[in-house]
Structure 1
Amino acid sequence: MTPQQIIENATIPGTRSILVLGSFEKRVTVYAQQVRALNLVDALLSENLIRPEGGKVAIIGGGAAGITAAVALARATPRLDRLDLFERSPAVLALQHGSRRFLHPHFYDWPAAGSEADNAGLPIMNWTAGPAGDVATTLRAEFEAARHNSVLTLHADSTVSKLVPSALGPIRVVVDKGSAVGRIYDLVILAIGFGLEAHLDGETPSYWSPSGLAAPILTQLQNPLLFVSGNGDGGLVDFLMAAFNALEHHQIGATLMNLDLGAARAELELIEHEAWAPGADVDLLAAYRARLGPLIPAPVWQEIADRLRPGVRIHLHTNEARLLRRTTALHNRLGVYLVLEADREVGGNVIMVTTGAEFEGGIPKRGEVRIAGQAPFEPWRRFLRLGPDSKPNLRPFESLLAGYPGAVNPPLSATRPESPTLTASASARFGGPAPAPAAEPTPAAPAAGAGTLVAGVARAGTGAVLWSCEVGPEEVGQIWSGGRIVALHCDITAADAAALAPVLARLGAHAAGFTLYTKDVAGWRASSGALCASKALPGPDVDIRFSVAEWQAVTLPGPGVELAAPVLAATIQSRLDREVLRQLHVILYDILGPAAVPTGWPIEPALRQRLWDQWSQWHTALAANDDSCRRFLRLLTSEDDRQPAGEAALVGLGPKTLRPFMTTSTVFALAFAVTSGIPVSPAGVHPGNLASKQLTGHSCGVSWINERRLGMRGVMEQGWTTGVVLLSQLREAVRMMEGDLRMDRSISDAAAVGTIAPGEEPLIIGADDGFVAALEAGEPELRAYLQSIIRWRAESSAPTLEEVDHDAA
């Protein structure tokens, strides 16, 4: 997500400077909340929404998100006038204090790469997997250090009862136990946690309290009954603690994470992929039973059976139709499945599962449990994990939050199955100064057979270059499509590389992994650093840098291909263009085809088919014409249409910029072609990347210009070369684009010397709410929307009656 998107998703409508941090997310872990906090603080600083000197910021909530945001601001803006954190408990991270519940930063992301790493890997407020109380101690220590070394102030035992925003921006924070005088802030971050679980006013202990299930069950009762209700992670974890014999939560987590599943792991990952496919409705427990059972190795079944708790009965209940929902941690789901199957096969069927049944007579906080269709019973211990009781935390802010979209629809970062990731900008801001180039570690030489693709580039004669690689220049797109890791040994200095430098930079920038080994380390680092600089990219948070290391001797595959340097460069560039086009084609099929993968732009089905039909025609034409293909793709990721463009302009064009910058800009171009009444198609020559008999156009997906976020001023100052400009990441309405005309200047005025006449300035169309709504409504609405814009411009460009009379006089 871009800084603008992060801020837009967090800001409460009707206010200018009250933002919500993590209060309505669905993937709520300590790590996920910390990442959201760092991304939000970085976005606020990137967009200059916090005064670095003299600013006043309040944070409400002392959970993981709140204290991480506080420490981040304390470090990044040491000259704030005030940085106050309000927490209604006596201390921050009060829930986790002393808790033995297991926290692992990447537990919910398994089996993704890196998910087994114990280290959170955060630039600040970092921690490692362990009991929640230990994690809280680590984080609290860093928070306290920030308090003693900065303006950060903790107001503990302070309940904020009201926020009073003003039309001018500042917000008054009212605290229940003191005067509100002086508590005026430029910006307030609501980092309100979910609080305690619901229904703790009975026999159920809090999830964070020390659990009696981690000890032996000691009672005179024969086969005591343990009752667990809940289909979320809390319910599944308590079920596992009830089922396993006197194991702490972290011991259960380690057991599940260390299981050698053999062939079953690949099948488990396939089921997970199917469960998250658009429109999927997978009964996970049924799928596990049908497809995993025969593949689970016998030692796994034996280990699970050996750890089951003897002499108890367990009743697991949910009112949902199915046990195991996809939003819970895969390890927890796997553990429940293994326990159920082991109990059924070797444990004596002491576990009962009830699904799709409601409680009768209310929530059974104590006494008898009454479930529809069953006889009443009274368990020895009960664990009701029926969600958080967040209403008391949110009640003081109900009126403000009534219009916050994230309170109804989960924010973007909550709808994905994986945890949020730290943006490149946030990582760079909070990670400290980058090391000097000389300190860059030298990667080890790739081992034969390790899966690394070894390639070589060397001088072969007058103007010729030898390309040595099992993948030839004609097939070089396979490096991107196959996710290959490349070790390129270049025996040419950066100064002598000429046209090859941007080619190799582009190849490496978008490869899954790329190291350039050279004797000219300083030269190539300087060259690649300039070619991969952020200024040349279509937006922030895109890291296309690659490693440059000292030359290492290696056996190169032979015999190699000898070509003139310009021919080699042109061949590789052309094949990389085709690979980008191929990947764009695949992504557009996902978006416009039957899967209808969401992009944030919902498209009416019939219109979606029309756009796909149009794209099929364009794709055929682009695949047949290298010049049109390059021009179309390059301008999707660049506002710069100067001639000649040069090879360096292609470095940012590849898989890493494809999804964020090229997909919606292509959809925008297709929508314009289909419904505007102007049948544009990809252009093969300057200017722009779209053309028709009537006009030229430029469809562009950049999110910044000259390293400043896309906004009206920057757009109007840009030297566009076409009659129409389509900006998929500009959210301004088109009619706002004429706002810079002075009162003494008409759109029909003639041009002054050295300027463009107002009527000849490009028509700039952004993807505002009206455009997105028209996409969702269908072709007639979109046609009316776009044609109204074109009609408005035509009418605005015509001389008025007053102007005609004045000219006649």
Structure 2
Amino acid sequence: MAGGGLPFDDWLLLAGNPADAGLHFVGTFDRRITFYSQQVRALRLVHALSRPGNLQPTDHIAVVGAGAAGVMAAIGLALLGNDVMLYDPAGSILQLQSASPRLLHPHIYEWPGLGSLDDRAGLPILDWSADNGGAVRTRLLADFQSAQARLPNFTFKPAHTLTSLEKDGTRWRLGLTVNGGVDYRVFDRVVLAIGFGDEIPCGAAIPIHYWRHNSTGSAAAEPHSPATYIVSGNGDGGLTDLLSLLIQNFEHVAFTRRFLNYFPDDALRVTAQAAYAGIAAGDDLEAAFNAQLLPLLVERGVLDRLNQLLRSDRQVTINSSGPLLAAAKAAQLNQVMAFAVLEAAKQAGRPVQRSAGLVADVVPSGGGFQVSGLDIGGAPLTETFEHVILRHGPDRPQRYAPAGAYFGSYRAHATALLTARPELSAPPVLDPNTYDFFEALRIAKLEDQASQLASQASVASVKATLVLGVDPAAHVPVEQGSHRLLDVADQCERLTSTIVLHLAAAPAKIPASADIVRLARASGGRITLAAGPNGLVDWQKIMPTIAAAPSAVSHYSALALDLTGLAGAIDACLLRLLDQRIRSALASHHCDTLGPINASIAGAIGPTWTAWHASLTADKALLDAFLRWLANVEQHEHTRWNGDHARISHLATALVMMLATHHGEPLEPALVDRGNLKFSHNAVALGSGCEMVGRQPIAIWDQPDQWGVDALILSGSAEVEVMDPPGRVLDGGKPAMGMAAARRVRPVVIRNDKLWRARLTNDLATWQTAVAAEFAALRERQDKELEELSK
């Protein structure tokens, strides 16, 4: 493992055979080969090469192939400062996507992962957003040309085709055809990003290229009905073609969004994850889908909705050599959607025919084609099809033939590596450190000085922003940022720089929204809140000062919003703030709102607070209850500290008074009803800095039963007076019934008034005598009450 926890060595192992040092392959045998994933693989490889000992500043590097991976690798390597030559047979970069009507989406194949409907790729260089292939290519071509102009060490050589690759000592010798001749060039390193080749040919089948205009999915009406198709292949290409043939006006991303919107909650994602659980790669998913997914599709009316989208002018056969829905063979979302559409077609009485086997040949027959090698239910398939679509994977050996035996040795290396360590075949994830590394290079080398200042400010703003919202694919709360919310909460008032919590959804969509507001207040200005247009009005009802902000864009991965420890983190913050105030008061012998404290009393309080602090820290439930009562006199529901620092002085004062009282009547923090302290085995005391009960001053509570405790220690008001109960009503004079109807006697009241403040200036013995007298009077009132009831 390399710095920052990044598996740099693994990235290098995946990209090349160590025996052929200096030769690298990008994504040749990896899973999930998408435009975006190839860009990420290229960035990871370049980042790994940038580490000390891997790449020399004088290394001359060739990148072969100007597709998604090659262009990204070439620009990345040039940003490191090396001389880089990019070769491609076409006249420009990204030739396959040029003018393509196919939709490109960066994350759609990551479902059921969070963020799979994020339209933005979120790359530090050559970034793009979901659009058709032609539009994405136009955007990236502009960025590429801008980089060319600013990187004198980077050269693009179009119309150059790799014909040979040989080792030349410690370097590599490339043969490249250009203008009918062959040029030879020697490089220190070579990156092969030459794609995967066309579909493996078979007989008379007409190749249907995914990116070109002759691809499937045309919205045009068939010349006659039903037109017959056979699609062979159960990877993403085959399943996507199946969907495009069956769904009217099919467009992959739009259909995906529509399908996912049939589920306004997390049910589809949870059900799919349960269906996939425990199924090994290659095993058949259909039984699990029938048992778990189908009932959900029926219950939610999804099949009925899909019926309305089915085409009636096509008759489709789908072929696979193994299970049609084989685990890990295609993206989970494609498999789920294909299953749903197949079930809808079955329900509509137009089931899709399934065949099995390996296509041996495709021959013309009566204006169509016959496919040999397949069977249906054990009988040979003899039908004639107007259209044959083969999605059996690319012809890699043919594409990599110029690399000769080096390709074969790399294939053996990659196969052994992925067999021994299957976790390395997981789709690539762009590590935040890799993003930061290339973002810094982009700003430094591809932007002018004026732009650099603005970009650096933008980078700082993004790093200081944590976006809280709802994932549109999973319908669950998520967070995106360089920090986790709970990590921010744990630092709270100790943060060294300001963090912005961008609230991208309404409070009703984000659990614990009140705690998020409390957290911002508790931070003392170190955490600020901003709300996007989707929830600003509702957030301002909770906190009117929340600022308005445009919709947030974050390149950080979406993570499930973890709020489990948020309230506890705010409690810990309050305890730290109180601890500071109390220790300061004890050291200075002076407490805000109380005034002077005798040194002997302060000396006695110190060890007591240390013991209380330890017990509160060790028990989160106790701390929660203790601080709730300290902050608020509760009525019908639990009300925690609202985060306002202006109240800390009253809360700290109440604590000082409670600690001092302990030295006249032993108290201890406790989980008890209506209070937060206990004494004399089963007596309950309430210590609070609360000033209001609801919207009224606490002084309006003047009856013992309103408080429901045996002792009050209050710092928020000097006016609290609790009266003796106005007589008793006994039930028939029977002692047992009389006891049941007894009124609570007037509690001890130690409050922040002139009398008690003056007592704190006297020595500890005088203070203890005064406290003991108050509690003795309480016990006398209780004894008298019992005597009256027993008569």
Give the percent of matched residue pairs that are identical in Structure 1 and Structure 2: 27
Matched with 1:40 is: 45
Compared CA separation, residues 416 and 14, structure 1 to 2 (3 A)? closer
Compared CA separation, residues 438 and 6, structure 1 to 2 (3 A)? closer
Instruction: State the alpha-carbon separation in 2 of the partners of residues 374 and 342 from structure 1.
Output: 27
Matched with 2:26 is: 21
Shift of 1:488: 4.3
Quick check: 324-333 or 228-237, which moved more? 324-333
1:318 aligns with 2:324: no
Matched with 1:218 is: 222
Instruction: State the alpha-carbon separation in 1 of the partners of residues 71 and 221 from structure 2.
Output: 38
Aligned ranges for residues 439-458 of structure 1 at < 5 Å?
Answer: none
1:385 aligns with 2:386: no
Instruction: State the alpha-carbon separation in 2 of the partners of residues 108 and 446 from structure 1.
Output: 23
Quick check: 368-377 or 190-199, which moved more? 368-377
Shift of 1:263: 6.4
Q: Deviations over 1:453-478 (max 9, x none)?
A: 9xxxxxxxxxxxxxxxxxxxxxxxxx
Matched with 2:659 is: none
Instruction: State the alpha-carbon separation in 1 of the partners of residues 181 and 13 from structure 2.
Output: 32
Compared CA separation, residues 444 and 246, structure 1 to 2 (3 A)? closer
Quick check: 199-208 or 422-431, which moved more? 199-208
Three-state SS of the structure 1 residue aligned to 2:311 is coil
Aligned ranges for residues 704-723 of structure 1 at < 5 Å?
Answer: none
Compared CA separation, residues 181 and 128, structure 1 to 2 (3 A)? closer
Compared CA separation, residues 49 and 329, structure 1 to 2 (3 A)? same
Compared CA separation, residues 428 and 386, structure 1 to 2 (3 A)? same
Instruction: State the alpha-carbon separation in 1 of the partners of residues 127 and 309 from structure 2.
Output: 33
Shift of 1:145: 2.0
1:193 aligns with 2:219: no
Matched with 2:537 is: none
Q: Deviations over 1:735-793 (max 9, x none)?
A: xxxxxxxxxxxxxxxxxxxxxxxxxxxxxxxxxxxxxxxxxxxxxxxxxxxxxxxxxxx
One-letter amino acid of the counterpart of residue 408, structure 1:
T
1:7 aligns with 2:12: yes
Contact 2:108 2:117 in 1 (8 A): yes
Instruction: State the alpha-carbon separation in 2 of the partners of residues 436 and 335 from structure 1.
Output: 39
Instruction: State the alpha-carbon separation in 1 of the partners of residues 146 and 160 from structure 2.
Output: 21
1:233 aligns with 2:236: yes
Matched with 1:243 is: 246
Three-state SS of the structure 1 residue aligned to 2:371 is coil
What's the Cα RMSD here? 4.3
Aligned ranges for residues 550-589 of structure 1 at < 5 Å?
Answer: none
Matched with 1:695 is: none
1:56 aligns with 2:60: yes
| Aligned with 1:268 (options 271, 276, 282) | 271
Instruction: State the alpha-carbon separation in 1 of the partners of residues 84 and 52 from structure 2.
Output: 19
Compared CA separation, residues 268 and 137, structure 1 to 2 (3 A)? farther
Matched with 2:205 is: 202
One-letter amino acid of the counterpart of residue 403, structure 1:
S
**Richer in strand (by share):** 2
1:161 aligns with 2:163: yes
| Aligned with 2:436 (options 407, 418, 428) | 428
Contact 2:107 2:117 in 1 (8 A): yes
Contact 2:276 2:288 in 1 (8 A): no
Shift of 1:333: 0.9
Shift of 1:280: 6.7
1:170 aligns with 2:171: yes
Instruction: State the alpha-carbon separation in 2 of the partners of residues 515 and 48 from structure 1.
Output: 46
Shift of 1:85: 0.8
Instruction: State the alpha-carbon separation in 2 of the partners of residues 427 and 332 from structure 1.
Output: 29
Matched with 1:358 is: 358
Compared CA separation, residues 207 and 556, structure 1 to 2 (3 A)? same
Matched with 1:88 is: 89
Compared CA separation, residues 402 and 575, structure 1 to 2 (3 A)? farther
| Aligned with 2:415 (options 380, 396, 408) | 408
Three-state SS of the structure 1 residue aligned to 2:86 is strand
Q: Deviations over 1:4-31 (max 9, x none)?
A: 2222332333332112222221221111
Contact 2:112 2:269 in 1 (8 A): no
Aligned ranges for residues 71-82 of structure 1 at < 5 Å?
Answer: 71-77=75-81, 80=82, 82=83
Compared CA separation, residues 120 and 491, structure 1 to 2 (3 A)? closer
Contact 1:96 1:208 in 2 (8 A): yes
Matched with 2:307 is: 305
Compared CA separation, residues 519 and 18, structure 1 to 2 (3 A)? same
Gap regions ≥5 residues in structure 2: 1-5, 444-455, 470-475, 497-518, 528-555, 557-568, 580-606, 621-791
Shift of 1:247: 2.3
Matched with 2:371 is: 369
One-letter amino acid of the counterpart of residue 384, structure 2:
E
Instruction: State the alpha-carbon separation in 2 of the partners of residues 231 and 383 from structure 1.
Output: 12
Instruction: State the alpha-carbon separation in 2 of the partners of residues 390 and 280 from structure 1.
Output: 22
Instruction: State the alpha-carbon separation in 2 of the partners of residues 198 and 364 from structure 1.
Output: 18
One-letter amino acid of the counterpart of residue 367, structure 1:
F
Instruction: State the alpha-carbon separation in 1 of the partners of residues 467 and 359 from structure 2.
Output: 64
Compared CA separation, residues 571 and 425, structure 1 to 2 (3 A)? farther
Matched with 2:669 is: none
Compared CA separation, residues 389 and 436, structure 1 to 2 (3 A)? closer
Compared CA separation, residues 45 and 369, structure 1 to 2 (3 A)? same
One-letter amino acid of the counterpart of residue 74, structure 1:
A
Three-state SS of the structure 2 residue aligned to 1:225 is strand
Instruction: State the alpha-carbon separation in 2 of the partners of residues 187 and 445 from structure 1.
Output: 41
Quick check: 280-289 or 41-50, which moved more? 280-289
One-letter amino acid of the counterpart of residue 241, structure 1:
S
Matched with 1:101 is: 102
Contact 2:121 2:128 in 1 (8 A): yes
Instruction: State the alpha-carbon separation in 2 of the partners of residues 129 and 247 from structure 1.
Output: 16
Contact 1:22 1:192 in 2 (8 A): no
Matched with 2:703 is: none
Shift of 1:152: 1.8
Instruction: State the alpha-carbon separation in 2 of the partners of residues 9 and 212 from structure 1.
Output: 33
Gap regions ≥5 residues in structure 1: 454-479, 495-513, 523-540, 542-553, 577-809
Contact 1:26 1:415 in 2 (8 A): no
Shift of 1:33: 0.7
Matched with 2:403 is: 397
Instruction: State the alpha-carbon separation in 1 of the partners of residues 468 and 257 from structure 2.
Output: 33
Q: Deviations over 1:146-194 (max 9, x none)?
A: 2222232222221122222233x22222213488777222211111210
Three-state SS of the structure 1 residue aligned to 2:385 is coil
* Structure of larger gyration radius: 2
Matched with 1:341 is: 343
Three-state SS of the structure 1 residue aligned to 2:392 is coil
Three-state SS of the structure 2 residue aligned to 1:238 is helix
Contact 2:199 2:207 in 1 (8 A): no
Shift of 1:58: 0.6
One-letter amino acid of the counterpart of residue 69, structure 1:
A
Three-state SS of the structure 2 residue aligned to 1:367 is strand
Three-state SS of the structure 1 residue aligned to 2:92 is coil
Instruction: State the alpha-carbon separation in 1 of the partners of residues 431 and 46 from structure 2.
Output: 11
Compared CA separation, residues 556 and 15, structure 1 to 2 (3 A)? closer
Structure 2 length-normalised TM:
0.55
